Amino acid sequence: MLSILIWLPLIGAIFVGFYPNLTAARTAALAIASATLLITLSLFFKFDPTTSGMQMEEYLPWINEIGLSYRLGVDGLSLPLLALNSFLTWIVIYGSKADIQRSRLYYALILVVSSVVAGAFVAQNLLLFILFYELELIPIYLMIAIWGGEKRTYAAMKFLIYTAISGLLILLGFFAITWLSGSSGFDYNINLEAIASIPLPTQVIILTVLLIGFGIKTPLVPLHTWLPDVYVEASPSVAILLGGVLAKLGTYGLVRFCLQLLPDAWSQLSPVLGIIATISVLYGALTAIAQTDIKRMVAYSSIGHMGYVLLACAAGTKLSLIGAVGQMVSHGLILAALFYLVGVIETKVGTRDLNALNGLLNPIRGLPLTSTLLIIGGMASAGIPGLVGFIAEFLVFQGSFTVFPILTLLCIIASGLTAVYFVILLNRTCFGKLDNATAYYPKVTWTEHTPALILVALIFFLGIQPSWLLRWSEPTTNAMVASLMIDAPSNSKIIVLSYPEAKVNQVLLP
Amino acid sequence: MDFANLNVVLNAGVILPESIIVVSLLIALVADLVSVKTSKWLPAIAISGLLGAVTVLIWQWTNLTEPLAFVESFNGDKLSIIFRATIALSSVLTILISERYFLQSGIAISEYITILLSATLGGMFLAGADDLVMVFVALETLSISSYLLSGYAKRDPRSNEAALKYLLIGASSSAVFLYGMSLLYGLSGGYTNLHAIASRLPLGGLSLIVAMVFVIAGISFKLSAVPFHQWTPDVYEGSPTPVVAFLSIGSKVAGFALAIRFMVTVFPMVYEQWHYVFVVLAIFSMILGNVVAIAQTSMKRMLAYSSIGQAGFVILGMAIGTEAGYASMVFYMLVYLFMNMGAFGCVILFSLKTGTDQISEYSGLYQKDPLLTLCLSVCLLSLGGIPPLAGFFGKIYIFWAGWQAQAYGLVILALAMSVVSIYYYIRVVKMMVVKEPQEMSDSVKNYPINPTWTADGMKPLQVAIVVTLVFTGVAGIASNPIFTLANQSVHDTPFLSASIQNQALKVELLKQLADQEPVSQLPALEPTIQE
Amino acid sequence: MSLEAFLVVAAALFCIGIYGLITSRNAVRVLMSVELMLNAVNLNLLAFSNFLDSGNIRGQVFATFVIAIAAAEAAVGLAIVLSIYRSRDTVDMEQFNLLRW
């Protein structure tokens, strides 16, 4: 079942890329992506949300000499991310034009990325994860370098080098964990006790190496320097993939391989991580305010939102971890919507400059629906209640407050700053008076609207019905918390409730 | 002594593969003399001889009971079988990719085939040589043929120059190697068999170290390990491209076979010392090869430096000195054979069509020749260690072996250098794939259709490229058999497994000693020479 | 005569060979220097063979091989020098600078 998620897009990519005289590359890719999405959705019916362990496991021995095996599995952490991946792939393919230059290569690469990311999310062997993690390198590199903006070659190379280094560090960390825990292979079901018996200072070193590796990918301040260039130079659809899906590889890695494998060291480092997270959040928000390029602004906002995830993980309470999973998904959706809309505006208006954009909400000559959607996206990103961003951020703050009161407060302030820069963005672009002389923008067709409409609908829906987002992860994250030993004053009000829907309601309606 | 007895003593069946190649060499030589018409069959004769040899080697893998031949001067153990097969295969692929090249440059291919076959013979004998004389003769057969090959385009002054440089440096390095061997002969009190020498060498002392250094210098030249690499870029750039392919693979594999056999067999007494030297060689080769490759503008030169860097990774496997280390080395050589040969095949194809090997001339090739772009990209990315291609698994195996042997620093360095290598390999891929149509280079703009795949000598090139592409692409995913092969070749080779066990014992003993009392220096004995 | 004397002479010859290899500009002289080194080895082998291994004389056999191969090497070397002389009209090593990085 899980293999299909990897192999279907991959075979599809080969088909799209190599089938002779294929004219309808987009249609074929869309069909494959739709099939993948349906299969992913069907996983939710098979998934048992009451247990914390791996489900639907698949195992094939592969290469014993290096401890590599083909072991797949899914749990409450990876399932929402898998769905996010399939969904955003579908959105990206749907939102791309059929006559994009070198269309076959383009769609083939998107499918490869989708397959590889799915593989990384379900891989239950450390080396297998590395394999998928590195595999994504070249397709993304090519996608940035071929279909990017002006400085795309530079950005692509920057991405390549940063990611290659992060892969190197992660590999080193995995080597160290596996070797020191004395297990013969890289399978993920490593004896946790064996890991716990590694001396704590060594564990901390390993964790640091892994943190830097995944931190580059996420990205966290101060490892984020590749992000603005890459996100801005990449075409909107690639930026959606990068920010919506690939950044999740970083946060997923933080939870799966740092928090879960090295809980002791994680508890040890958690105050530091909390501080780094807060710095990321503040930095992201403050730099975003200073931007005049709307795409760059969204890119920086992404740094801040990823910081919330780290804050939640560092706090390591039941609530905050649920919030972290929620934040990963909600950030994926919101960022995708924002990047998509920014892309639409750029193609129609021809600029991303805040000083040039004006009055897009004008119902006749502007882009009314696009700007409306942009406003909703901005609100969601700023954490306005009723939208999915609020749910996730609220859970994160509520969960982390008991552990890091000051840091959480700072983050809440930063989330207020998020509202500031989105107000700036929306105010400049959507409101105001449209220039009569120049502004006759081409109409946005319904096909072009559809991806954003779907995304915004989902943002609304999950904002109103958060349990659909959160119920899958609860047992998994609870099990993670059990292995952590961050001393926090117990918050009885939250912990007593076990069923997620009730809990969320309890939190939301005090 | 009648013939049957003689054969029992010589056990000549072990060198049956080599005999087949000798026969095919002679047939090729005679066929060339007989008439011009038959000369176009020469490549086919040579390839069938080589493939026959490989078949026999495969048969010998399981069925050879007594590997020692010719009064213990040739050893047909599994390690030598796998190295000999690799060399023979590299020669097959070299012939496949050279046919069109020489046809188009207007150079006769007949002598080339015979010289290449004798180089292959030299390499194969070298891989199993267990005696100083045998080592020397095989090494020189390989080297002298290589000099001739690299000067084969005799009207091209660059080829001449490359040959002269190669010859002078090669000859002097083999003289150094020989001097070391003569010292070994004296130190052992008059023995030339490697095992006999090893059991009679003094436990330490300056003269042994001097001999070791000389021997390592000679071997490192063949491996083109830094700092014995200076000839490599020049020779690679000047020589005909198919020859470079052979030098970078066949000749190197032979060098590694020699290195393992010679160092492990002869110098167990100074294990730490030679080990240390190889660690240094690995470090230098990885750093210099990979870093300097970044600055290259010529494809052949870049591949030359990259091959130095790749040799560094393989030496790393050897320097680790565990079973996994040697096995990873064998595995990497096997994989390297295909990916590097594929890269050279593509470079040859490109230069056949455009007549250049400048990296900048590759820009925009995607538009004109997608197949070539795909093949070259796959081979280069595999060299860079990108999954799921074969090179990734080779590198992971080496790194994991190194990590298990607790060579943490080396592994970290190797990982960093593999990132550097990704950078310069991806640069070529970028040139080909990313560039827009308007950024196309002149050679690509005027990219000719000729020679088409149906032209004379193009079919073999196509076969070679496709075979290497398929192997590079699939061998990684379906690499279990190759892993088993590599492991068996190390595990079932007596001298290697003995050395591995000895080292393990030694470490254990040293640990125990360290627990009890400070480790005392091993007695350093000077050679006792009687007049 | 002691073994050491032979070894010292051989070592000296070897060093002269290396010196010539490094300093000569003429390709033929470089080739001759290499021959000198090989002959130093021969002297070594013969001395060892005579003093240590007079029964089996493996060293002398080895030396025969070395002489034969040195001849082959010299032949190939001279052939290459000849062909380079034809195309470049010089055998001066410093003129050979087509290959540079």
The predicted pLDDT at position B368 comes to 87
Of B15, B25, B117, B123, nearest to B73 by C-alpha is B15
Residue C5: both structure tokens together: 């004397």
Buried b (16+ CB within 10 A) or exposed e, C49-78: bbbbbeeeebbbebbebbeebbeebbebbe
* Residue the block writes with tokens 């995708």: A336
Q: How far apart are CA A374 and CA B136, in angstroms?
A: 77
Phi, psi of A62 (to 5 degrees): -125, -90
Decide if B172 and C21 are in contact by the 8 Å CB cutoff: yes
Q: How many CB atoms lie within 10 A of CB A385?
A: 11
Identify which of C45, C65, C69 has the shortest CB distance to residue B185. C45
Buried b (16+ CB within 10 A) or exposed e, A16-27: bbeeeeeeebbe
Q: How many CB atoms lie within 10 A of CB A497?
A: 15
Q: How far apart are CA B266 and CA B184, in angstroms?
A: 9
Of A119, A146, A328, nearest to A238 by C-alpha is A146
Decide if B426 and A141 are in contact by the 8 Å CB cutoff: yes
Per the DSSP assignment, residues forming a β-bridge with A233 are none
Please list every residue in chain C whose beta carbon sits closer than 8 Å to the beta carbon of residue B151: 80, 83
The predicted pLDDT at position B120 comes to 97
pLDDT one-digit tens code per residue, B309-345: 999 999 999 998 889 999 999 999 999 999 999 999 9
Per the DSSP assignment, residues forming a β-bridge with B68 are B75
Q: Are A59 and A70 in contact (CB under 8 A)?
A: yes
Q: How far apart are CA A452 and CA B328, in angstroms?
A: 51
Q: How far apart are CA A281 and CA A421, in angstroms?
A: 13
Identify which of B381, B415, B480 has the shortest CB distance to residue A138. B381
* Count helices and strands in chain B by DSSP H and E runs: 23, 2
One-character DSSP codes across B291-337: HHHHT--BHHHHHHHHHHHHHHHHHHHHHH-SHHHHHHHHHHHHHHH
The predicted pLDDT at position A361 comes to 81
The predicted pLDDT at position A439 comes to 65
pLDDT one-digit tens code per residue, B381-434: 999 999 889 999 999 999 999 999 989 999 999 999 999 999 999 999 999 998
Strand-pair category, A68-74 with A55-63: antiparallel
Subunits with at least 3 CB pairs below 8 A relative to chain A?
Answer: B
Q: How far apart are CA B136 and CA B175, in angstroms?
A: 10
pLDDT one-digit tens code per residue, B467-495: 999 999 998 888 899 999 999 999 999 99
Q: Is B205 left (phi over 0), alpha (psi -120 to 50) or beta?
A: left
Phi, psi of A145 (to 5 degrees): -70, -25
Decide if B388 and A131 are in contact by the 8 Å CB cutoff: yes
Decide if A153 and B430 are in contact by the 8 Å CB cutoff: yes
Decide if B140 and C53 are in contact by the 8 Å CB cutoff: no
The predicted pLDDT at position B517 comes to 56
CB-hemisphere CA count at 13 Å for A91?
33
Q: How far apart are CA B41 and CA B53, in angstroms?
A: 18
The predicted pLDDT at position C99 comes to 67
CB-hemisphere CA count at 13 Å for A463?
23
Residue A451: both structure tokens together: 């991806």
pLDDT one-digit tens code per residue, B25-56: 999 999 888 877 777 889 999 999 999 999 99
Q: Are A48 and A449 in contact (CB under 8 A)?
A: no
Q: How far apart are CA A418 and CA A406, in angstroms?
A: 18
Q: How far apart are CA A89 and CA A92, in angstroms?
A: 5
Please list every residue in chain A whose beta carbon sits closer than 8 Å to the beta carbon of residue B392: 131, 134
Decide if B171 and C77 are in contact by the 8 Å CB cutoff: yes
Q: Are A43 and A56 in contact (CB under 8 A)?
A: yes
Q: Are B99 and B109 in contact (CB under 8 A)?
A: yes
pLDDT one-digit tens code per residue, B189-222: 999 999 999 999 888 789 999 999 999 999 999 9
Q: Which amino acid is at A291?
A: Q
Interface of A with B (CB under 8 A): 62-68, 127, 130-132, 134-135, 137-138, 141-142, 145-146, 153, 156-157, 160-161, 164-165, 168, 171-172, 175-176, 179
Give me chain A's average pLDDT, please.
88
SS3 string, A194-220, reads HHHCCCHHHHHHHHHHHHHHHHHHCCC
Q: Tabulate helix, strand, coil % of chain C (nearest 5).
A: 80, 0, 20
- The alpha carbon dihedral of B178, B184, B187, B192 has a sign of negative
For testing contact with chain A, the best of B363, B415, B432 (most A CBs within 10 A): B415
Chain A: residue whose CA lies nearest to B394: A66
* Residue the block writes with tokens 């994680």: A266
Q: How far apart are CA A421 and CA A283, in angstroms?
A: 13
- The alpha carbon dihedral of C47, C48, C53, C57 has a sign of negative
For testing contact with chain C, the best of B135, B167, B194 (most C CBs within 10 A): B167
Residue B427: both structure tokens together: 């640069």
Identify which of B387, B400, B429 has the shortest CB distance to residue A134. B387
Mean pLDDT along residues B209-236: 92
Please list every residue in chain C whose beta carbon sits closer than 8 Å to the beta carbon of residue B171: 31, 34, 73, 77
SS3 A62: strand
pTM of the model: 0.92
Identify which of B155, B190, B292 has the shortest CB distance to residue C53. B190
CB contact B507 to A (< 8 Å): no
Give me chain B's average pLDDT, please.
90
Q: Are B383 and B255 in contact (CB under 8 A)?
A: no
Of B92, B509, B75, nearest to B260 by C-alpha is B75
The predicted pLDDT at position B333 comes to 94
pLDDT one-digit tens code per residue, B155-167: 888 899 999 999 9
Chains A and B share 3 or more Cβ pairs within 8 Å: yes
The predicted pLDDT at position A438 comes to 66
Phi, psi of A340 (to 5 degrees): -65, -45
The predicted pLDDT at position A510 comes to 41
Q: H or E segment at A71?
A: strand A68-74
Phi, psi of B90 (to 5 degrees): -65, -35
Residue B377: both structure tokens together: 């990209």
Q: ∠ CA(B166), CA(B422), CA(B313), 5° rounding?
A: 55
Chain B: residue whose CA lies nearest to A166: B419
Strand-pair category, B74-75 with A55-63: unpaired
Which residues of chain A fall short of a pLDDT of 70?
190, 436-439, 485-510
Of A29, A33, A4, nearest to A14 by C-alpha is A29
The predicted pLDDT at position A486 comes to 57
Q: Which amino acid is at A461?
A: F
Per the DSSP assignment, residues forming a β-bridge with A63 are A68
Residue B468: both structure tokens together: 């290497």
Q: How many CB atoms lie within 10 A of CB B145?
A: 23
Buried b (16+ CB within 10 A) or exposed e, B422-444: bbbbbbbbbbbbbbeeeebbebb
Chain C: give the shortest CA distance to residue B118, in Å.
Answer: 14
| Residue C101 pLDDT greater than 60, yes or no | no
Give me chain C's average pLDDT, please.
90
DSSP state of A55: E
- The alpha carbon dihedral of A188, A191, A194, A198 has a sign of positive
CB contact B324 to A (< 8 Å): yes
The predicted pLDDT at position A85 comes to 95
Report domain extents, chain A.
Answer: 266-510
* Residue the block writes with tokens 């030299």: B122
Q: How far apart are CA A107 and CA A104, in angstroms?
A: 5
